[in-house]
A and B are shown apart, each in its own frame.
Chain A
Amino acid sequence: MATVTLKSFTGLRQSSTEQTNFVSHVPSSLSLPQRRSSLRVTAARSTPKLSNRKLRVAVIGGGPAGGAAAETLAQGGIETVLIERKMDNCKPCGGAIPLCMVGEFNLPLDIIDRRVTKMKMISPSNIAVDIGRTLKEHEYIGMVRREVLDAYLRERAEKSGATVINGLFLKMDHPENWDSPYTLHYTEYDGKTGSTGTKKTMEVDAVIGADGANSRVAKSIDAGDYDYAIAFQERIRIPDDKMTYYEDLAEMYVGDDVSPDFYGWVFPKCDHVAVGTGTVTHKGDIKKFQLATRNRAKDKILGGKIIRVEAHPIPEHPRPRRLSKRVALVGDAAGYVTKCSGEGIYFAAKSGRMCAEAIVEGSQNGKKMIDEGDLRKYLEKWDKTYLPTYRVLDVLQKVFYRSNPAREAFVEMCADEYVQKMTFDSYLYKRVAPGSPLEDIKLAVNTIGSLVRANALRREIEKLNV
């Protein structure tokens, strides 16, 4: 048993060259090569111990996902390397983190620039609804600067024992055998500005791809593509008296003028506001949507100066393949951004941590080699924990972002206290709370009523058009 590696590989993908190295436990009726659609994953208890070294894992990308993954790996006793291409990267991002993230990741409170406790939803006909009355004293949405948060998580990873390298991942060579290492090719920057860096290679046993929406790791494992939204944002410094209005308030604008399938926002940041919008289907018109968003908020940001313009892609759904052999994707690289709200920071950090935990467990704290089965455990756990959340948000987006009447109904529904409580509970604590059935029925009736009324008004509008 020590020399011959016996593994049950029922249903896992394997290249034909690996067949010669081991005997699989599958029944004889299913002889190689196996292509099964149903997966029965069993842990590979029989992988050999690594005799003289710890498991080496590389984390590509040093954002929230990479930082959280590297920290958990290092704490679990694994030799970790974190490769990040730009240490002071000021990511274009909404920057909102839920309350549970502060607790779960032990974030110091000074990382949070602002605590948003009020939100205003504004419908296409400018009906404004305030939400946040149901929040308790200690509850808030934290607004952070990405460069501060990312740097903090990376520092913590380094303190736990990970090696942080400033470099750009180029490509990786896949291993020939099931236990050969991956060879990573990367360019290391030595800190001098303007230098092109030196090409280097590194051998690792497993890779976590946390390099964001345009992930190179994803490309190298043929993970497939996803639909993505373009989010366009302008940072505007507004006069102090106008800034007090946004002290702890964020705004969401919905409407066909602002975005056909998303929303426009005004989020307060440390000393300025971020005004932006996004879209999936009409990416070419994003500038028009941005103008419309600024127009809708015009009175409140009058006299502001644009200090920065930024745009970034937001994945809309996971990639078809989120892992391949000993490479796993986490965060934006995997496509873990929710619909409807477009939230990604918490899910990136959580998926990084979950993947790292799966590696730590599968390798028994770095003593054994891991295989695809261990990484599949992370996928299973992730899907089981968060798929309901993703599904609910997808339904919300489909129902309420369809058209202007639907958005009007959406804003009307947000005025309801029960809705506010449920929304904030599920956002702040990331659990789809059951709530009381009677209130749910009332909510369903009210939702249908709002939708019917809004659609009736749209029919009236169409009659006026004639």
Chain B
Amino acid sequence: MSISMALFSPPISSSLQNPNLIPKISSSLLFSTKRFSLVSVTRASSDNGTTSPVSATVSEVPKPTSVAVKEAPVKSPAESSSASENGAVAAAETDSTTTTVIKFENTKWVNGTWDLKQFEKDGKTDWDSVIVSEAKRRKWLEDNPETTTNDEPVLFDTSIIPWWAWMKRYHLPEAELLNGRAAMIGFFMAYFVDSLTGVGLVDQMGNFFCKTLLFVSVAGVLFIRKNEDLDKLKDLFDETTLYDKQWQAAWKEPDSTTGSSKK
């Protein structure tokens, strides 16, 4: 990443004076050129005016080469570098008033939706890569909000990705983790209770207190997965009751709630 940063900086400053540098950079396969032309375009536009014809041509350049660039191993350094670039781009965008339109472009994104035929692997659609591509598109848009146009409406609906693809990718790994935790907790709790009270596993299941303990530990494993979850759950509970309390305040005595703005 530091290498890519170093390689980025000279072109940025020189592109202000030398538009000829841009075609040379776009041919380099180390960077996703689409991202790159974006940086130079923004810098150019913040220079105000003189380089706008250049930026128009630049946006044409990356498209034919972008197909070659879309290799998975090449992508990860490109993505990480573009992540930092996107931050800079977004900042530059908001304060320059004459930005050229920088849009999300991808050969697989056709007519406002993902062209599933391009995601085929061994004759079947590779849903994982569809999910990853959509995530990248959303990330791109979060960092560079785009205008919506009526000419190219976005029509993608995540429900075309079948439910088992989501399960395989997200639910199953986490389920494995949680089941593992529950099993370990269960084993040690059973051993612990047995060593303290002498009640074996089968007899524990007949005891109300032990069943309650089991319920609490299962709920704990399910709901408290990270350290932050404890506070989040408490906040959630407060949130659910806050609005009602605000409405009921009119029916309470005045000394209890005056100007309480807890939000």
Q: Do A and B come from one complex?
A: yes
> Which A residues lie at the B interface, using CB under 8 A?
13, 35-37, 39, 122, 124-128, 222, 224-227, 245, 253, 255-258, 280-281, 288, 291-292, 295-300, 316-323, 339, 379, 383, 387, 390-391, 394, 398, 404, 408, 412, 415, 449-450, 452-454, 456-461, 463-465
Interface size class of chain B, counting residues whose CB lies under 8 Å from the partner chain? 35 or more
* B142 engages A464 (CB within 8 Å): no
With the chains together, A427 CA to B169 CA distance in Å? 39
- In the complex, what's the smallest C-beta–C-beta distance from A297 to chain B, in angstroms? 7
Mask for B137-166, Cβ within 8 A of A = 1, else 0?
111011001111111011111110101001
A299 touches B247 (CB 8 A): no
Given contacts A128-B148, A257-B145, contact A323 B250 (CB under 8 A): yes
**Closest A residue by C-beta to B158:** A453
Per the bound structure, the CA–CA distance linking A314 and B258 in Å amounts to 19
Which residues of chain A have C-beta atoms less than 8 A from B150's C-beta? 245, 299-300
Q: A296-B148, A320-B252, A322-B250 are in contact. List 5 more A-B contacts (CB 8 A).
A: A295-B147, A299-B149, A299-B150, A319-B250, A454-B158
Q: Which residues of A contact B249 (CB under 8 A)?
A: 224, 318-321
Residue of A13, A125, A323 ringed by the most chain B CB atoms within 10 A: A125
Interface string of B223-263 (1 = CB under 8 A from A): 00000000000000001100110110111111101111101
Supposing A224-B258, A452-B166, A453-B158 touch, asked if A280 and B79 sit within 8 A by C-beta, the answer is no
B147 touches A456 (CB 8 A): no
Q: Which of B9-17, B28-36, B41-49, B128-136 contacts A (4 or more CB under 8 A)?
A: B128-136
Chain A residue at minimum C-beta to C-beta distance from B145? A257
| Docked-complex contact B239 and A256, CB < 8 angstroms | no
Contact A318–B141 (Cβ < 8 Å): no
Q: Which of B157, B169, B252 contacts A37 (CB 8 A)?
A: B252
Note all chain A residues with C-beta closer than 8 A to B197: none
Question: Whose C-beta in chain A lies nearest to the C-beta of B135?
Answer: A460
Q: A122 and B148: CB pair below 8 A? A: yes
Alpha-carbon gap, A235 to B156, bound state (A): 31
Q: Are A126 and B141 in contact (CB under 8 A)?
A: yes
Q: Is the CB of B138 within 8 A of A461?
A: yes
B257 to A, closest residue via Cβ? A320
A449 with B159: CB separation less than 8 A: yes
Whether the Cβ atoms of B246 and A317 lie closer than 8 Å is yes
Please give, as numbers and ranges, the residues of chain A lying within 8 Å of B131 by CB-CB distance.
456-457, 460
The CA of A460 and the CA of B166, in the complex, are separated in Å by: 11
A316 to chain B: closest CB distance in Å? 8
B188 within 8 Å of A by Cβ? no
State the CA gap A415–B255 with chains docked (Å): 47
B215 contacts partner chain A, Cβ-Cβ < 8 Å? no
The listed residue with most B CB atoms (<10 A of its CB), out of A37, A295, A450, is: A295
Cβ–Cβ contact B94 & A291, under 8 A: yes
Residue pair B158, A450 in contact (C-beta under 8 Å): yes
A397 CB to closest chain B CB, in angstroms?
Answer: 9
B82 CB to nearest chain A CB (Å): 10
Q: Does A124 contact B142, Cβ atoms closer than 8 Å?
A: yes
Smallest beta-carbon distance B98→chain A, Å: 12
Complexed CA–CA distance, A321 and B142 (Å)? 41
- Complex interface: chain A residues within 8 A of B258 (CB): 222, 224, 320
Which of B240, B249, B255, B260 is the most central at the interface, judged by chain A CB atoms within 10 Å of its CB?
A: B249
Q: How many Å lie between the Cα of A316 and that of B244 in the bound state? A: 12
Within 8 Å CB of A291, what residues of B? 94
Query: Does B157 lie within 8 Å of A394, measured CB to CB?
Result: no
B218 touches A (CB below 8 Å): no
CA distance A379 to B142 in the complex (A): 44
CB < 8 Å neighbour of B134 from A257, A292, A323, A457: A457
CB distance from B101 to the nearest CB of A (A): 8
Min CB gap B148→A, angstroms: 5
Cross-chain contact A124 with B138 (CB below 8 angstroms): yes
How far is A453 from B159 in the complex, measured between Cα atoms in Å?
8
Cβ of B35 to closest chain A Cβ, rounded Å: 13
Contact indicator A225/B259 (Cβ below 8 Å): yes
How distant is the Cα of A255 from the Cα of B134 in the complex, in angstroms?
16
B contact residues around A394 at 8 Å (CB):
243
> A459, B142: Cβ atoms under 8 Å?
no
Check: B221 CB closer than 8 A to any chain A CB: no
